Amino acid sequence: MLAYVFFHRPAPGVETPIYETALRKFHSALTVAPPVGFIGSSTYRVGGGYADWYLVESSAALDLLNQAAVNEARSATHDVVAHLASDGAGKLLMRVSGTAPPGAGYEMRFSKPAGTAYQDLYDRLKPRTDRAEVTLWRRMMVLGPAPEFCLLALSQIQLPAEMKPEILRRDLV
């Protein structure tokens, strides 16, 4: 499973209720005749902005999602949100462990300590990630801003300081 995560915020002067209503309408429109490989999407308030999570089965499904997001049936809802938004940036993540991400809760964004092998990192995190409602994601091919990892959980999980964790509250819109 992959996640295309799009970070954004309302443009100056745009009221939060109007922005969030437009986001909900767009995500709802994606569920009508969803593209092949699309699993689902949600928007979260995270760290002073918003994060849209688009879950897909594979990288091939990203092309279909991109086309479906702006096709004739959805262009109106997409364009409303696009005109209300600013400061957009995307990131492609691959699920490393866990099930589909939980709804509200926390995002713990962090970096792999220098010199640490990926398998060693996963083994070190296993006591924290081997629980229900915890999902570990890793950035793909340096597509998107740092940090490289995102741990989603219903409650905060303390990570070692050397991982430079940023713990953010995550609320479903």
118 and 147 inside one domain: yes
Which H or E run contains 148? none
Cα(71)–Cα(89) distance, integer angstroms = 21
Residue 101 has pLDDT above 80, yes or no: no
Tally helices (H) and strands (E) across the chain.
4, 8
Domain count, the chain: 2
Name 3's bridge partners: 55, 93
Phi-psi group of 19: left, alpha or beta (phi > 0 → left; psi -120 to 50 → alpha; rest → beta): alpha
Indicate whether 168 pLDDT > 80.
yes
Domain C-terminal end among 77, 93, 109: 93
In a shared domain, residues 130 and 167: yes
User: Beta-carbon neighbour count of residue 95 at 10 Å?
Assistant: 17
pLDDT tens-digit series, residues 38-83:
999 999 999 899 999 999 999 999 999 999 989 888 889 999 999 9
Tell me, what's the pLDDT at 104? 86
Average pLDDT over residues 26-36: 93
110 plus 136 within the same structural domain: yes
How many Cα atoms occupy the beta-carbon half-sphere of 136 within 13 Å?
21
Residue 131 structural domain: 96-172
Please tell me the predicted confidence (pLDDT) of residue 108.
96
Assess whether pLDDT exceeds 90 at residue 144.
no
Q: Which of 8, 44, 3, 10 is nearest to 24 (CA)?
A: 44
Query: Which amino acid is residue 3, in one-letter code?
Result: A
Mean pLDDT throughout 89-106? 88
User: For 13-30, what is the mean pLDDT?
Assistant: 96
79 and 113 fall within a common domain: no
Q: Which pTM value belongs to this model? A: 0.93
Is the same domain home to 6 and 79? yes
pLDDT over 80 at 102, yes or no: no
What is the pLDDT at residue 143? 82
What per-residue confidence (pLDDT) applies to 153? 94
- 41, 78: one domain: yes
Mean pLDDT of the chain: 93
For residues 31 and 70, membership in a common domain is answered with yes
So what's the pLDDT on residue 131? Answer: 87
